[in-house]
Amino acid sequence: MFPQVRMRRLRRTDALRELVAETHWDPGRLVAPLFVVAGRGVKRPITTLPGHHHMSPDAAAEEARALWDLGIRAVLLFGVIPDEEKDDVGSAAFDPQGPVHQALGAIARATPRMVRITDVCLDEYTSHGHCGVFDGREVHNDATLPLLDRVAVSHAEAGADIVAPSDMMDGRVAHIRAALDSAGFSSVAILAYAAKFASAFYGPFRAAAGSTPAVGDRCGYQEDPRNAREALREVDLDVAEGADLVMVKPAMPYLDIIRRVRERTLLPLVAYQVSGEYAMLESAIAAGLIDGDRARRESLDAIFRAGADLVITYLCRWAAQGGAAR
Ligand code: PBG
C-alpha cells in the first residue's frame, strides 16, 4: 500500500511508459475499406465519409498500392452502383464485370501481395436496399443463401483472398463454404460478420453505398444491441459452420462483446470501427472539441486492448501516415 506502492513510478517518462505498455498495434493490423464504382479515373469524395472516395477500379488499385507502401496489408471492397442497375435480388452483386470484380483484378495486378477481402451482401445491389430476398414485409433467409453463394464464388473467381458475408442470414457461412469448395475455391477464407448489430452507426456508410432500406429496417436479421449472449451464440454458430475469422461490428460501442468473443474463440478476431464511429470522431475533431491524433489513437488502442487482432477502420491512411506513432 501507499507510500511503499506508487503507481506513478512507471509513468515517469515516455520510455518507461512504452516499456510497460500492454497494447501494441501498427498499420499492418488495420484493414482499409474501399468504395468501388464503375468507370476509369474516377475519384469522387464521399461527403458522409470525409477523406474517403468513390473510386473506379483503376483508382482503387492506385489507392491500394499507396496504402501498401504505407504498411497497410489488407483492403475490404464494397461496390456502389447506380439505382437503375439494381433489381429485386441484387443480381449486379455477382456480375463479373461489376466494380468489385474489376477492382479485384486491378489490385491484384498492381499490388499482388495485398490481401483482398470483399463484403458479400446484397444491400448495395437490391432496389429495396435489404440484404436478401424481400417480399415487401420480410427478408427470406433460405431464398437468400444461394444468391450469397453466387456472390462469394464470383468474388473468388475474380481473385478475392477472403470473402466476408455481412448479411446476417442464418446458415450462410456453411452454405458459402460448401459453394466455394465445390467451385474449387477451398483456399478462399471466410471472415464472418458474426456479431453484427442493428446499429445506427452505419448511417454514413449507407449514404456512401446507397444501401439504406427503402422500407423497414434491418432489425429482423441484424442483432439487437441489448444482447450479448445472443452475439456469442452467433459467433459459436459461425465458428461451427467453418468461419476462418470472426468479426464484431461496430467496435467502440461493443468492446464488451469483443472481449467476450476473444475469450471464447481461438480464431482471429476482427473488429469493424464503422462509419458512424469515424463520423463522431471526425466531427468532434473538426469542431475543435477533442485532439485529433490522440482521440483517433485512443479509439484504436481501446479496440485492440479489448482483444481485437485486426481492425477495419476509416483511419488507415491517418495511422499509416504517422498518426499511430506516439
Ligand atoms: C452491409 C454492410 C454495412 C456496413 C458494412 N457492410 C451496412 C449495413 O449493414 O447496413 C456498414 C459499415 C460502416 O458503417 O462502416 N453490406
- pLDDT exceeds 90 at position 91: yes
How many angstroms separate the alpha carbon of residue 241 from the centre of ligand 1?
Answer: 22
Give yes or no for residue 326 having a pLDDT over 90: no
User: No. of H helices and E strands in the chain?
Assistant: 11, 12
The CB density around residue 84, as the number of other CB atoms within 10 Å, is: 7
Residue 149 Cβ contacting ligand 1 at under 6 Å: no
- Residue 288's pLDDT is 98
Q: For domain 26-323, give the CATH number.
A: 3.20.20.70
For ligand 1, whether the C-beta of 117 sits within 6 Å is no
Question: Is residue 121 lining ligand 1, measured as CB closer than 6 Å?
Answer: yes
Measured from the CB, is residue 118 less than 6 Å from ligand 1? no
Domain residue ranges of the chain, discontinuous segments joined by +: 26-323
Q: Which amino acid is at 210?
A: G
Is the CB of 164 within 6 Å of ligand 1? no
**Distance (Å, rounded) from C-alpha 239 to C-alpha 163?**
15
Nearest-atom index, ligand 1, CA of 193: 6
Structure confidence at residue 324 as a pLDDT band (50, 70, 90) = confident
CB burial string 91-119: b at 16+ within 10 A, e below: bbbbbeebbbbbbbebbbebbeebbbbbb
Ligand 1 pocket test: pick from 126, 131, 206 the residue with the most ligand atoms within 8 Å of its Cβ: 206
Q: Distance from the CA of 31 to the center of ligand 1, in angstroms?
A: 15
Q: pLDDT per residue over 104-135, tens digit each? A: 999 999 999 999 999 999 999 999 999 999 99
Active site residue 196: yes
Q: Judge whether 139 and 131 are in contact, CB under 8 Å.
A: yes
90, 200, 49, 313 alpha-carbon torsion, rounded to 10°: -90
From ligand 1's centre to the CA of 206, what distance in Å? 7
Cβ-Cβ contacts under 8 Å for 149 (sequence gap 6 or more): 175, 176, 178, 179
Question: Over the chain, what is the mean pLDDT?
Answer: 97
Of the chain, the percentage scoring pLDDT greater than 70 comes to 100
Beta strands, E only, 177-226: 189-196
Task: For residue range 172-202, list pLDDT tens digits in order.
Answer: 999 999 999 999 999 999 999 999 999 999 9
Give how far Cα 93 sits from Cα of 112, 121, 270, 272, Å.
23, 8, 24, 22
